Amino acid sequence: MSDILYLGKAKSVHSTDELDELRLVYLDQATALNGKKKDEILGKGQLNNEISSKVFHYLTTQGIKNHWIKQLSDTEQLVKAVTIIPLEVVVRNISAGSFAKRFGIKEGLDLPKPILEFYYKEDALDDPFMNEDHIDYLKLASKEDVSFIKEQALKINNVLIDLFSSIGLTLVDFKLEFGRDSNGQIILADEVTPDTCRLWDKETLASLDKDVYRKDTGDLVSVYKEVAKRLNERKGE
């Protein structure tokens, strides 16, 4: 077994024999409220590994540069080593969550164009909302890098809207993280799963994502299983 480099809330990161490759292990752990609510949920790691692997494979086929190399086992995947840029990039298509709360608007409103937000990825500060001047001041990324990240995030949004739409789901909002690879290129990293996306069934409007855990409204494993099943049964896959 290789050395653990980092233990996150839903994954651990391990070194491999290759300097520029890492092994991610998806854990049976769910957290909400920045870690204040925390539970072991058997089967979650396997489902998120499967879902994220499918989504990243699809993003690769659509020309989106990303860290994913291959799925190694039920709960593990091999990825390119990157230095994560400490930004959480949120894209919203429909009002929900902290956006609805912060601006005092109803949930479920179609946004006329996608809204992009940045948060500073810093648990000790509860990931505060930030703007481009803050990113510049804290030297997290150059202006050119920020423009590139915004452009990529909007492209990824279009690709993911289509992917989820093809399995009967509306992509309400989601969070991305980017990293720099050994050539200094910025590529998509982290995961795309129901932990990091809001996905609403097109017909019933039911949440098939972590909101069932955040709000205690359903069984996380059964809704994640449904997302995985729909991705697996997708035509052409």
Contacting positions for ligand UDP (CB under 6 A) = 88, 90, 96-99, 127, 173-175, 196-198, 210
Within 10 A of 139 (CB to CB), how many other CB atoms are there?
7
C-beta separation of 91 from 116 below 8 A? yes
C-beta separation of 180 from 83 below 8 A? yes
Smaller CB distance to ligand UDP: residue 20 or 35?
Answer: 35
Instruction: Pick the closest to residue 153 from 196, 93, 89, 94 (CA basis).
Output: 89
Smaller CB distance to ligand UDP: residue 41 or 72?
Answer: 41
Smaller CB distance to ligand UDP: residue 78 or 116?
Answer: 116
Instruction: Pick the closest to residue 77 from 57, 58, 49 (CA basis).
Output: 49
C-beta of 214: minimal distance to ligand UDP in Å? 7
Smaller CB distance to ligand UDP: residue 58 or 213?
Answer: 213
In the complex, residue closest to ligand UDP by CB: 97
C-beta of 198: minimal distance to ligand UDP in Å? 4
Within 10 A of 1 (CB to CB), how many other CB atoms are there?
5
C-beta of 126: minimal distance to ligand UDP in Å? 9
C-beta of 9: minimal distance to ligand UDP in Å? 9
Q: How far is CA 129 from CA 126, 135, 154, 171, in A?
A: 9, 11, 19, 21
